[in-house]
């Protein structure tokens, strides 16, 4: 695909007009750049010359597009074979480059699924997020971890399936608490046969696939048979299962009969802000909803916002068979074709006017309207707090990006540094970062040394990736957990890196470490406190507490990983599956280390060569 650029001191219509000479009407993607070569806008075109020529006209543009044209100093072009290819490339570049004038989806995390694992003869049911590499059946996506957990809890009540790990399962000698509270059938100790457990798994899979009517009818027939045969205990268990199954369905709220698999996407635009509400309908069941707040401009139209949202939202996710929308998109056939190519089967785009689908859209629109109202109210309150923060600490302007740092460890072990980020829209969780402390020369528990390592790594990377400070990744304010000593250490770090214009504040607990008596430390100034009832004080406390929560969570994860680690993790060729096979066969890593070569070769999945590697690893070490 040819790529062309042109730099000039000019900006605006004349620059764009100069590019028209080198263009034809092939499909492709264009980029508009400012005088510093920053990407202002990425767009697609069925015919590049025709599309770009519309920007060369001096009139007839919205204020947003007019501003963009005035700032344009050069353009870049990539031709594609088809318009669908151009659409896919456009959305990929928007996510990568985050241009100033494009609609931008800011929160794009993966969604959790339910996994019925098939790696064990007694399958496990559990929450799963990420690549679908584990053997088993996946159901989702669910809108949130909470939606998955609620469904898993109900499924445990109904089908009594285990959620423990294979290692825990294989090591149990008596039932766990879940068996006592009737959430598991205790296959680990033989309280249910493999065949009966497999039947429960099959019923759970049928439920997750939406086959609930036949399943309930079948359970009711079994209950009647058990009662007729005077097997009252079994009949009562089946009655409880039917009741729990009914509770699952009622808890889901919306369960559309005529929509088997769809995402319901509704958009609310107001005051230059947008909220997109997405409801996940799978197997005729509501699997939760989530709201998004894409970056938009004051003069942007709903079809453009929705098309951009859909392109970016499904960039790394499989679309369902139907998208049910509140507004039409600009190019419905093109979007449907791109999504169909991605999924490998037809994807429909609908904008219903009546019936059940229209009712689903109306419900999603109501949620979008209410969510945007709350977001705008919170945004106004947040803006007021940021202005108060700037006044309290003599900042040049209200900060748009605040970074808060904290450390967590136990007597220096499993040390982790944490950074959380807040701005005009509140906590920016996609920007949070954790730092595994690597310094081998650090004294255990050296908080100054840990903070020095974290900040050095953070700002060395910023200086390398964005030395001209053109991106929004540079903070306007740092909050550090600590007093004068920490502030002095931070000043030394920043001086060493040559960074003089990023203000930082140390937040110390104050007298008797009492919350509300925090002292604030700044370089070269006397420490001071805010009034106990000052909203800015509460705001800083929330920021510090969030950093502390995130740091502790990161530390616990690291500690849990260290506890579960074994010497087998260090042997080349021993991955998770072979590690599980070895531990199941021998019972412990210590027993593996003592095994002879013949016993190692007898383990399922361990080749003769790998057995030799494992044997040599332990015996050379000894």
Phi, psi angles (nearest 5°) of residue 270? -160, 130
pLDDT, position 108: 66
Pairwise pLDDT comparison (528 vs 449), residue with the higher score: 528
Give me the DSSP letters along 13-76. Answer: HHHHHHHGGG--S--EEEEEE-TT--EEEEEEESSHHHHHHHHHSSSS--HHHHHHHHH--EEE
pLDDT, position 129: 85
Least confident of 28-32, 97-101, 470-474, 488-492: 470-474
pLDDT surpasses 80 at 403 = yes
Give the domain 402-562 fold: Nucleotidyltransferase; domain 5 (3.30.420)
Predicted confidence band at 5 (pLDDT cuts at 50, 70, 90)? Answer: very low
Cα(265)–Cα(326) distance, integer angstroms: 6
Predicted confidence band at 111 (pLDDT cuts at 50, 70, 90)? Answer: confident
Count helices and strands (H / E) in the chain: 20, 19
Pairwise pLDDT comparison (349 vs 428), residue with the higher score: 349
Give me the DSSP letters along 125-174. Answer: EEEE-S---SSEEEE---SSHHHHHHHHHHHHHHH----S-HHHHHH-SS
pLDDT surpasses 60 at 21 = yes
Which residues of the chain does CATH 1.10.150.20 include?
567-621
Mean pLDDT on 83-90? 91
What percentage of the chain exceeds 70 in pLDDT?
90
pLDDT, position 387: 93
Cα(406)–Cα(560) distance, integer angstroms: 20
pLDDT tens digits for 285-336?
888 889 999 988 778 899 999 999 999 999 888 899 999 999 999 899 999 9
- Alpha-carbon separation of residue 535 from 381, 382, 401, 539 (angstroms): 10, 11, 19, 6
Alpha carbon of residue 210 to chain centroid = 26
Q: Which uninterrupted H or E stretch holds 463?
A: helix 447-465
pLDDT, position 610: 87
pLDDT surpasses 70 at 9 = no
Mean pLDDT on 594-599? 84
Predicted confidence band at 445 (pLDDT cuts at 50, 70, 90)? Answer: low
pLDDT, position 450: 80
pLDDT, position 254: 56
pLDDT surpasses 90 at 32 = yes
Domain 3-97 sits in CATH at 3.40.1440.10
pLDDT tens digits for 167-221?
888 888 888 888 888 889 999 999 999 998 998 898 888 888 877 667 777 778 8
pLDDT tens digits for 117-170?
888 899 998 988 888 888 899 988 888 888 888 888 878 888 889 988 888 888
Q: Which H, E and C letters describe 391-408, residue by residue?
A: HHCCCCCCCCCEEEEEEE
Residue 512 DSSP SS3: helix
pLDDT, position 581: 81
pLDDT, position 621: 47
Which residues of the chain does CATH 3.30.420.340 include?
261-373, 402-562
pLDDT tens digits for 373-391?
888 888 888 889 999 999 9
Look at residues 128, 124, 118, 203 and name the one whose alpha carbon lies nearest to residue 166.
124
pLDDT, position 8: 42
Alpha carbon of residue 124 to chain centroid = 24
Instruction: Provide CB contacts within 8 A for 73, sequence distance 6+.
Output: 7, 8, 9, 10, 11, 15, 33, 34, 35, 37
pLDDT tens digits for 232-288?
877 877 777 777 666 655 555 456 778 889 999 999 998 888 999 999 998 888 888
| Domain range 261-373, CATH architecture | 2-Layer Sandwich (3.30)
pLDDT surpasses 70 at 23 = yes
pTM of the model: 0.69
Query: Domain 567-621 sits in which CATH superfamily?
Result: 5' to 3' exonuclease, C-terminal subdomain (1.10.150.20)
150, 251 in Cβ contact below 8 A? yes
How high is the mean pLDDT of the chain?
Answer: 84
Our CA angle for 86, 89, 90, nearest 5°, is 80
Cα(370)–Cα(268) distance, integer angstroms: 9
pLDDT tens digits for 40-50?
999 999 999 99
pLDDT, position 101: 92
Mean pLDDT on 228-233? 80
pLDDT tens digits for 540-567?
988 988 988 888 887 677 666 655 456 7
Which residues of the chain does CATH 3.40.1440.10 include?
3-97
Give me the DSSP letters along 400-453. Answer: S-EEEEEEEEETTEEEEEEEEEEETTEE-GGG-EEEE---TTPPTT-HHHHHHH
Token pair listed for 471: 């991106």
């Amino acid at each position: 695909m040819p790529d062309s650029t042109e730099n000039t001191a000019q900006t605006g219509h004349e620059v764009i007009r100069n590019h028209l000479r080198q263009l034809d009407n092939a499909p492709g993607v264009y980029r508009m750049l400012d005088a510093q070569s920053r990407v202002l806008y990425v767009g697609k075109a069925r015919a590049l010359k025709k599309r770009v020529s519309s920007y060369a006209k001096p009139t007839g543009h919205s204020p947003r597009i007019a501003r963009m044209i005035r700032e344009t100093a050069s353009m870049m072009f990539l031709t594609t074979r088809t318009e669908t290819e151009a659409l896919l490339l456009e959305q990929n570049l928007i996510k990568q480059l985050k241009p100033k004038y494009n609609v931008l989806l800011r929160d794009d995390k993966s969604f959790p699924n339910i996994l019925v694992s098939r790696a064990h003869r007694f399958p496990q049911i559990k929450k799963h997020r990420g690549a679908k590499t584990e053997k088993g059946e996946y159901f989702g996506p669910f809108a949130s971890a909470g939606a998955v957990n609620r469904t898993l809890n109900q499924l445990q009540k109904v089908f009594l399936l285990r959620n423990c790990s294979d290692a825990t399962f294989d090591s149990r000698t008596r039932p766990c608490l879940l068996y006592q509270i009737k959430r598991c059938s205790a296959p680990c100790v033989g309280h249910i046969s493999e065949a009966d457990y497999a039947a429960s798994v099959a019923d759970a899979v049928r439920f997750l696939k939406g086959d609930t009517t036949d399943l309930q009818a079948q359970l009711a027939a079994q209950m009647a048979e058990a009662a007729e045969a005077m097997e009252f205990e079994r009949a009562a268990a089946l009655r409880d299962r039917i009741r729990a199954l009914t509770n699952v369905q009622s808890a889901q709220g919306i369960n559309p009969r005529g929509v088997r698999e769809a995402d319901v996407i509704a958009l609310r635009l107001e005051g230059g802000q947008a909220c997109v509400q997405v409801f996940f309908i799978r197997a005729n069941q509501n699997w939760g909803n989530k709201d998004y707040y894409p970056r938009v401009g004051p003069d942007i139209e709903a079809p453009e916002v929705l098309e951009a949202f859909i392109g970016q939202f499904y960039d790394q996710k499989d679309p369902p068979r139907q998208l049910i929308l509140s507004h039409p998109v600009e190019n419905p056939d093109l979007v449907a074709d791109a999504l169909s190519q991605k999924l490998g089967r037809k994807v429909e785009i609908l904008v219903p006017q009546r019936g059940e689908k229209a009712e689903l859209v109306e419900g999603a629109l109501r949620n979008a309207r209410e969510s945007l109202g709350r977001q705008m109210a919170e945004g106004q309150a947040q803006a007021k707090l940021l202005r108060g923060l700037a006044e309290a600490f003599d900042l040049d302007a209200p900060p748009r990006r605040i970074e808060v740092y904290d450390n967590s460890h136990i007597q220096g072990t499993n040390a982790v540094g944490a950074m959380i980020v807040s701005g005009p829209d509140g906590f920016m969780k996609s920007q949070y970062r954790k730092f595994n402390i690597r310094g081998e020369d650090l004294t255990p528990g050296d908080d100054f040394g840990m903070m020095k390592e974290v900040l050095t790594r953070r700002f060395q990377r910023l200086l390398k990736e964005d030395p001209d400070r053109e991106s929004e990744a540079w903070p306007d304010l740092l909050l550090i957990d600590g007093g004068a000593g920490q502030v002095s250490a931070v000043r030394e770090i920043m001086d060493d890196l040559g960074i003089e214009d990023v203000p930082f504040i140390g937040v110390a607990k104050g007298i008797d470490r009492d919350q509300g008596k925090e002292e604030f430390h700044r370089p070269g100034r006397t420490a001071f406190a805010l009034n106990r009832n000052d909203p800015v004080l509460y705001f800083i406390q929330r920021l510090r507490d969030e950093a502390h929560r995130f740091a502790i969570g990161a530390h616990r994860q690291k500690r849990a990983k260290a506890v579960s680690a074994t010497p087998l993790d260090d042997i080349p060729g021993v991955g998770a599956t072979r590690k599980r096979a070895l531990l199941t066969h021998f019972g412990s890593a210590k027993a593996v280390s003592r095994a002879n070569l013949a016993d190692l070769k007898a383990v399922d999945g361990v080749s003769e060569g790998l057995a030799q590697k494992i044997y040599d690893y332990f015996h050379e070490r000894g």
